[in-house]
Amino acid sequence: MTEHVPTSDSSPRHVGGRREPLATYRIQLTPDFGFRDVIAVLPAIAGLGVSHLYLSPIGRAMAGSTHGYDWVPPPQVSDDLGGITGFRELRAAATEAGLGVIIDIVPNHTGVADAAQNPWFTDLLTHGAASRYASWFDVDFSTDNGAGGKIALPVLAADGDLSPLTVSDGALRYYDHVFPTAPGSTDSDDPLEVHDRQHYRLVPWNSGLIGYRRFFTVNELAGLRQEDPDVYAGTHGWLLDLIDDDLIDGVRVDHPDGLWDPQAYLHRLRADIGDGRLLYVEKILAADEDLEPTLPVEGTTGYDQLRVIDAVFTAPTGVIELDEIHERRTGQRGDAGWLHSAERARKLATLRDMFPTEHRRLVRAITHSDPSADQDAVAEATAELLADLGVYRADYPSLRGRLVETATEIGRRIPRLAPTLDLIVQATASPGAATSRLAQTCGAVTAKSVEDSLFYRTARLVSAQEVGGDPANPTLSLREFHAHNGRRARDWPRAMTASSTHDTKRGEDVRARIAVLTQVPERWSRLVGEIWTRTPPPDDLSGYFLLQNIIGVWPIDSPVDDVLRTRVKAYAQKATREGGLRTTWTEVDEQFEDAVDEWIEQVTRGENAVAIGDLTERIAPSWRSESLSRKAITLLGPGIGDIYQGTQWWDDSLVDPDNRRPVDYRQPTDHPKAALIRAALRARAENREAFGPGGDYLAITADGPAADHVIAFARGEAGVARVIVVALRFTHSLTDHRRAATTVSLPEGRWRDALTDATASGTVTLDDLVGDGVAVLTRIPPDAGASPIE
């Protein structure tokens, strides 16, 4: 049967004079893979049926940058990628191939790792508060900033020893660091005296001092004040030139939550690019958070939908058993209660250890209008608020109630803070420094506490420990899935749907395989027991975490080689350092890291390798089936599916830089994923109105013993279904008998499977309807000849 979930009645619009987006293809540009290299693979990309190229930042960046998010002024198309001429050539070739172009922009920050490469930052350090760019950066020039009103630069060793300082060629040097100097300040032979004459002060890296807002804790990326019209104009003129020359069709905004006022910024950007171009935001939503409805954007880049799709394929009963296995092996519960408590503790510690400067500025902003306020109480109250809000920032209109309710609840729990919390609520009731400082600090603390720390400190089910993920509640019922999709089709029909990105902790196929462990918890438990008996890990939690990832990347049709072992070791180093329990980036425990490397060697050889290979081979059919089902839902569910480079084939990527490896576009085009993508996007292209604004989402339920294994829905218009997706989940336990005894009642009409060319109508069994885990059915016109499956 079908359930009609109505959506918006507005008619589809044409975007930028070009066709409605069908799907995007994300490409990571590097100096080794620039515009001409993209042109060379355009036929393969266009052949998938996507509508838009989706490019990583194309601007001039720090020398040697492999990602472009550390762009440097003056803003312009990077010569390392091919320059403006090369970009024009790419645009022309893409247009000829029928593809639009979306680019990634980075308004929040600019690269300052080498001040000499950033003329704006050089000018700031040279002239301090008198610099023409002093107001462009979010600098703390206050006399109580810990650096005597100067710009604190945390580059010194922990002991603060300045003796390595030298002066040469008019610059102050500290090992590889080179800093500009104020005019007339280098006429002394004493480097310490020269240092004292500067507008900045070099301080120990662990002092807790930094003179400017950063991207999270990355000192090499300095925040920009886009709320200043001069800054906006100076950083967006090149973008508007691209638009004036019709060289792009859309923009992806990196990390808008880092800005002073993302709402005002996005409204101005929308006015500048016009309504005819696509506008996406890299916005991480909490599981219980909706995107602010007043934002003038197509939607997010899709981590929220990634979470939903992953969750509906995660078996609830298996998660319960994984709870027990995890606690037995690691001594840690890892369930929802533990995760909520651990997240709160991590946020308090992160604020204290990583963001003391930002916290002081926040307290100062709140107490500015009331000097009599107890600053210690404000510091404690804001810390409690940041730990409990549960979202990146709560200054969006739809989240104001959340902030007030959270403050009220904290006041009940800690009555002595209630008056201070009332002060904070009043101070943040309207736009201003208190509101923005609270919001900016909240986002930074959340990111560094959760996805960059907590998600490496637990391991109940690592596939759920993803950007925007909800490992506390990693499953989703069919009812919840369909209700969510109905709302998304209505409210955000052009929002992106991600499955893999340059920032995901694991690629889509790795997560899909790890999630299958929830269907075989007993086999998983036996494997863990065997390995722990033969080869105990140097740390139980680290070993349990890493073994799931090893399962995720284990080759099915070939032996493990040293290339994979090297990749896993590199991943293990990053994971254990990010977790910070036994080793960290700044306090490396080489003995522990060597022990982890040796454990990986032993686990991937001999009897252990045989045991891992046996499990992965057993679950391979379910993994392949469900990976394809996930891809079909990504492309044909509500939103615009985004295909990350290379994921038209099986992808075994882990976290960056592993997921940014070069793609071999010479791989076979008849791969099952590539074939599915082509079929799905062909069906979508032939039925555009069913997927855009005004399109419908119709939930379809199955009948029979395997009904809960069936994820089925139709996309249509005016209540008439045009395309149907029937996908299977929890397939490891789906027997032939249960498949044969379960039926799906298709909407009225005759249907053809875009994958197999088989036809169907009426009520059909799963056996007849679904082949390799998924069917994509398109309506057969009434006058076309076809016979239904008997």
pLDDT tens digits, 135-183: 999 999 999 999 999 999 999 999 999 999 999 999 999 999 999 999 9
- Given a cut of 60, is residue 14 above it in pLDDT? no
Contacts with 198 (C-beta within 8 Å, 6 or more apart), sequence order: 125, 150, 172, 179, 181, 182, 185
- Token pair for 433: 């420094």
Is-contact 171 181, C-beta < 8 A?
yes
DSSP letter assigned to residue 707: G
DSSP letter string over 415-454?
Answer: GGGHHHHHHHHHHTSSSSHHHHHHHHHHHHHHHHHTTTTG
- Write down the residue that tokens 């090992």 correspond to: 175
Query: Which DSSP category does 18 fall into?
Result: B
Tokens of 211: 């003179």
Decide the pairing of beta strands 200-204 and 177-179. Answer: unpaired
Q: How far is CA 604 from CA 259, 304, 541, 559, 609, in A?
A: 45, 34, 18, 10, 5
The percent of residues in the chain predicted with pLDDT above 70, rounded, is 97
Q: What single string gives the DSSP state of each residue in 528-573?
A: HHHHHHHS--SSHHHHHHHHHHHHHH--SSS---HHHHHHHHHHHH
pLDDT band at 784 (very low <50, low <70, confident <90, very high): low
Q: Residue 541: which of 465, 651, 606, 468 has the closest Cα?
A: 465
- pLDDT confidence band for 110 (50 / 70 / 90): very high
Query: Other C-beta atoms within 10 Å of 176: how many?
Result: 7
d(CA 115, CA 180): 8
Orientation of helix 606-636 relative to helix 540-553, angle to 10° = 60
Structure tokens at 42: 């355009």
Backbone φ, ψ for residue 276 (5° rounding): -85, 0
Residue 609 predicted with pLDDT over 60: yes
Q: Return the structure tokens found at 652.
A: 């075994």
Q: What average pLDDT score do residues 340-364 get?
A: 97
Q: How far apart are CA 78 and CA 84, in angstroms?
A: 8
Confidence of residue 20 (pLDDT cuts 50, 70, 90): confident
Q: In this predicted structure, what is the pLDDT of residue 19?
A: 64
Place of tokens 């989940």: 729
List, edge to edge, every strand of the sheet that includes 278-281. Answer: 299-300, 278-281, 250-253, 100-105, 52-55, 23-27, 640-644, 496-497
pLDDT tier at 369, thresholds 50, 70, 90: confident
pLDDT per residue as tens digits for the range 557-607: 899 999 999 999 999 999 999 999 999 999 999 999 999 999 999 999 999
Q: Do residues 709 and 687 lie in contact, with contact meaning Cβ atoms separated by under 8 Å?
A: no
68: left (phi over 0), alpha (psi -120 to 50) or beta: left
Per-residue pLDDT for 783 more than 90?
Answer: no
Full DSSP string of 362-407? HHHHHHTT-TTS-HHHHHHHHHHHHHH--SS---SGGGHHHHHHHH
Q: Is the pLDDT of residue 785 over 70?
A: no
pLDDT at 15: 46
Higher pLDDT, 12 or 348: 348
Question: 13 vs 606, which has greater pLDDT?
Answer: 606
Report which of 170, 221, 176 is spatially closest to residue 197, judged by C-alpha positions.
Answer: 170
At which residue do the structure tokens 């001999």 appear? Answer: 606
For residue 198, the 8-state DSSP code is S
Asked if residue 600 lies in contact with residue 620, where contact means CB atoms within 8 angstroms, the answer is: no
pLDDT class for 3, splitting at 50, 70, 90?
very low
Mean confidence (pLDDT) of the chain = 95
Residue 414 has pLDDT above 70, yes or no: yes
- DSSP structure class, residue 747: E
Render pLDDT for 447-487 as a digit per residue (tens, 0 to 9): 999 999 999 999 999 999 999 999 999 999 999 999 999 99
How long a stretch of residues is the chain? 790
- Burial label for 719, CB within 10 Å (0-12, 13-18, 19+), is exposed
The single-letter code of the amino acid at 108 is N
**CB-based contacts of 12, cutoff 8 Å, min separation 6:** 20, 688, 689, 692, 693, 694, 695
Token reading at 556: 């099915």
Q: Could you give the percent of the chain with pLDDT greater than 90?
A: 95
Pairing of strands 250-253, 100-105: parallel
Phi then psi dihedrals of residue 296, to 5 deg = -85, 55
Q: What is the mean pLDDT of residues 106-116?
A: 97
Residues 461, 324: contact at Cβ < 8 Å? no
What's the Rg (C-alpha) of the chain? 27
Burial of 341 (0-12, 13-18, 19+ CB in 10 A): exposed
Q: With 90 as the cut, is the pLDDT of residue 552 above it?
A: yes
Give the pLDDT score at 300. Answer: 98
Helix crossing, 540-553 with 590-603: angle to 10°? 40
Residue 788 has pLDDT above 80, yes or no: no
Question: How many C-beta neighbours within 10 Å does residue 14 have?
Answer: 9
| Listed residue (234, 224, 271) closest to 251, CA to CA | 271
Handedness of CA 437, 438, 443, 448 (dihedral sign): positive
d(CA 608, CA 543): 13
Q: What's the confidence (pLDDT) of residue 773?
A: 84
Helices (H) and strands (E) in the chain, counts: 24, 24
**How far is the C-alpha of 707 from the C-alpha of 730, rounded, in Å?**
11
**Model confidence at 657: pLDDT above 90:** yes
Report how far apart, in Å, the C-alpha atoms of 320 and of each of 249, 368, 465 are.
46, 50, 16
What is the tens place of the pLDDT at every residue in 286-309? Answer: 999 999 999 999 999 999 999 999
SS3 content of the chain, % helix, strand, coil (to 5): 45, 15, 40
CA dihedral sign of residues 766, 772, 774, 779? negative
Does the structure show a pLDDT above 50 at 5? no
Tell me the three state secondary structure of residue 756: coil
Specify which residues 151 forms β-bridges with.
200
Longest dimension (CA), the chain: 94
Query: CB–CB of 489/5 below 8 Å?
Result: yes
pLDDT at residue 2, rounded to an integer:
41
Long-range contacts, 187-195 (Cβ 8 Å, 24+): 191/162, 191/165, 191/166, 191/167, 192/162, 192/165, 194/165, 194/167, 195/162, 195/165
Structure tokens at 622: 């379910």
What 8-state DSSP symbol labels residue 494? T
Dist. CA 314–CA 469, nearest whole Å = 13
Helix (H) or strand (E) holding 486: helix 478-491
Q: What are the structure tokens assigned to 464, written together?
A: 């759920």
